[in-house]
Amino acid sequence: MAVDKRFFEDLDWAEEHHGELLEQYRDCWIAIYNKQVVASGSSIRDVEHHAKAKTKTKTGQKHIPVYFVESGSNIYAG
Protein backbone atom coordinates (compact mmCIF):
# COMPACT_ATOMS: atom_id res chain seq x y z
CA MET A 1 0.00 0.00 0.00
CA ALA A 2 1.50 3.32 -1.09
CA VAL A 3 1.59 6.24 1.30
CA ASP A 4 0.73 9.64 -0.12
CA LYS A 5 3.57 12.16 -0.44
CA ARG A 6 1.58 14.59 1.72
CA PHE A 7 1.94 12.22 4.70
CA PHE A 8 5.71 12.71 4.73
CA GLU A 9 5.46 16.45 4.06
CA ASP A 10 3.10 16.84 7.02
CA LEU A 11 5.33 14.73 9.27
CA ASP A 12 8.38 16.79 8.27
CA TRP A 13 6.41 19.96 9.01
CA ALA A 14 5.59 18.72 12.52
CA GLU A 15 9.23 17.93 13.23
CA GLU A 16 10.36 21.32 11.92
CA HIS A 17 7.78 23.13 14.09
CA HIS A 18 8.21 21.01 17.22
CA GLY A 19 9.15 24.02 19.37
CA GLU A 20 6.06 25.98 18.35
CA LEU A 21 3.81 22.94 18.75
CA LEU A 22 5.29 22.31 22.19
CA GLU A 23 3.84 25.61 23.44
CA GLN A 24 0.25 24.53 22.72
CA TYR A 25 0.34 20.72 22.59
CA ARG A 26 2.92 19.72 25.22
CA ASP A 27 2.94 15.95 25.76
CA CYS A 28 -0.07 15.43 23.47
CA TRP A 29 -0.68 13.49 20.29
CA ILE A 30 -1.50 15.62 17.27
CA ALA A 31 -2.72 14.71 13.81
CA ILE A 32 -1.49 16.85 10.92
CA TYR A 33 -3.21 17.39 7.61
CA ASN A 34 -1.96 19.89 5.04
CA LYS A 35 0.55 21.29 7.55
CA GLN A 36 -2.16 22.04 10.12
CA VAL A 37 -3.11 20.36 13.38
CA VAL A 38 -6.55 18.83 12.82
CA ALA A 39 -6.87 16.87 16.09
CA SER A 40 -5.08 16.65 19.42
CA GLY A 41 -5.35 14.78 22.70
CA SER A 42 -3.81 12.36 25.14
CA SER A 43 -5.04 9.22 23.36
CA ILE A 44 -3.49 8.32 20.02
CA ARG A 45 -6.56 6.27 19.13
CA ASP A 46 -8.93 9.20 19.76
CA VAL A 47 -6.70 11.59 17.80
CA GLU A 48 -6.60 9.22 14.83
CA HIS A 49 -10.38 8.79 14.95
CA HIS A 50 -11.09 12.55 15.09
CA ALA A 51 -8.57 13.32 12.36
CA LYS A 52 -10.08 10.78 10.00
CA ALA A 53 -13.59 12.09 10.70
CA LYS A 54 -12.53 15.70 10.05
CA THR A 55 -10.62 15.01 6.85
CA LYS A 56 -12.53 12.18 5.18
CA THR A 57 -14.71 14.51 3.12
CA LYS A 58 -11.72 16.62 2.08
CA THR A 59 -9.41 13.94 0.80
CA GLY A 60 -9.01 10.35 -0.17
CA GLN A 61 -5.82 10.23 1.89
CA LYS A 62 -5.91 7.10 4.03
CA HIS A 63 -2.91 7.89 6.22
CA ILE A 64 -2.70 11.00 8.38
CA PRO A 65 0.48 11.44 10.42
CA VAL A 66 0.08 11.42 14.18
CA TYR A 67 2.97 12.98 16.08
CA PHE A 68 3.71 13.05 19.81
CA VAL A 69 4.80 16.51 20.97
CA GLU A 70 7.15 15.34 23.68
CA SER A 71 8.55 17.78 26.19
CA GLY A 72 11.40 15.46 27.11
CA SER A 73 10.20 15.01 30.69
CA ASN A 74 8.31 11.74 30.23
CA ILE A 75 9.17 8.53 32.03
CA TYR A 76 8.43 5.26 30.27
CA ALA A 77 8.30 1.95 32.11
CA GLY A 78 7.69 -1.44 30.63
Give residue-wise pLDDT tens across range 15-55: 999 999 999 999 999 999 999 999 999 999 999 999 999 88
> Is pLDDT larger for residue 61 or for residue 39?
39
- As to burial, measured by CB atoms within 10 angstroms (0-12 exposed, 13-18 middle, 19+ buried), residue 31 is buried
pLDDT grade for 11, boundaries at 50, 70 and 90: very high
In 3D, which of 31, 56, 55, 34 has the Cα closest to residue 43? Answer: 31
